[in-house]
């Protein structure tokens, strides 16, 4: 119980709790619709998802500035691939959040906002940010794979590398670098959400809800266990 209170007192931790409830509600609404539940049940679950989604937009106010600071830090990284992917990713995330703030003002009636247009704009920035983060995750796994092959070559210098050796090196890299592996799965699941919203992939709200649930749980795991968080990120 103490661990839960400690986690929920963290702003990022609270967001992941609400995010999990949001996408669980989305999945539950789809599941209820598929199994012929009453329209009232589906409506209640849909309204819960929308209410939490709007609340999370409020909680994220000011987070765009944090992303811009992260982008400035990433510029100074020694590794040029990390510097490029993380700088552009954080910049796009900042734009996504900035537009998100604007959409929230429209939802609560402070401004007149074309919700469809600006939601699409926000989704494009978010999608690009996630794609760059996936590239960063794959790069981290590639480095781990190369190190594994180097270790194997030192142990047996005259051996030739075959497909089997490469697959073993990749599997070893996945175990050796769980931070990148978890991050890759998390970002891969998240990509489905804006890609589906933009019509890039054709899927249903059940798949979107499930992907959101998985990525929320993995993000919560990274927050709870800092050793599983990929750095720099």
pLDDT digits (tens, 9 = 90+) for 119-147: 999 999 999 999 999 999 999 998 888 88
DSSP characters over 14-59: HHHHHHHHHHHHHHHHHHHHHTT--HHHHHHHHHHHHHHHHHHHHH
DSSP characters over 135-204: HHHHHHHHHHHHHHHHHHHHHSTTPPP-HHHHHHHHHHHHHH-HHHHHHHHHHHHHHHHHHHHTTSS---
- Count of CB atoms within 10 A of residue 164's CB? 8
pTM: 0.88
Rounded CA-CA distance 173/148 in Å is 7
Rounded CA-CA distance 61/110 in Å is 15
pLDDT per residue as tens digits for the range 173-220: 788 899 999 999 999 999 999 999 999 999 999 999 999 999 999 999
Rounded CA-CA distance 171/169 in Å is 6
pLDDT per residue as tens digits for the range 71-127: 999 999 999 999 999 999 999 999 999 999 999 999 888 889 999 999 999 999 999
**How is residue 189 written in tokens?**
């699941």
**How is residue 178 written in tokens?**
């769980």
**How is residue 7 written in tokens?**
């986690």
Rounded CA-CA distance 190/4 in Å is 24
Let me know: does 172 contact 142? Beta carbons within 8 Å.
no
């Amino acid at each position: 119980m103490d661990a839960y209170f400690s986690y929920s007192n963290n702003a990022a931790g609270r967001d992941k709790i609400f995010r999990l409830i949001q996408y669980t509600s989305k999945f539950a609404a789809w599941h209820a619709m598929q199994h012929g539940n009453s329209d009232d049940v589906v409506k209640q679950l849909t309204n819960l998802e929308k209410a939490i989604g709007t609340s999370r937009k409020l909680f994220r106010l000011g987070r765009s500035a944090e992303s811009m600071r992260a982008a400035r830090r990433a510029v100074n990284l020694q590794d040029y691939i990390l510097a490029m992917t993380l700088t552009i990713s954080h910049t796009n995330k900042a734009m996504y959040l900035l537009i998100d703030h604007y959409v929230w003002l429209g939802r609560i009636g402070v401004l007149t906002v074309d919700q469809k247009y600006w939601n699409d704009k926000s989704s494009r920035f978010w999608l690009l940010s996630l794609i760059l983060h996936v590239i960063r995750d794959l790069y981290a796994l590639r480095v781990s794979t190369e190190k594994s092959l180097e270790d194997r070559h030192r142990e047996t210098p005259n051996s030739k590398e075959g497909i089997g050796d490469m697959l073993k090196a990749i599997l070893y890299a996945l175990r050796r670098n769980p931070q990148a592996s978890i991050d890759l799965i998390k970002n891969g699941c998240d990509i489905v959400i804006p890609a589906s919203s933009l019509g890039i992939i054709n899927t249903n709200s059940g798949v979107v809800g499930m992907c959101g649930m998985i990525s929320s749980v993995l993000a919560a795991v990274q927050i709870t266990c800092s050793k599983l968080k990929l750095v720099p990120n």
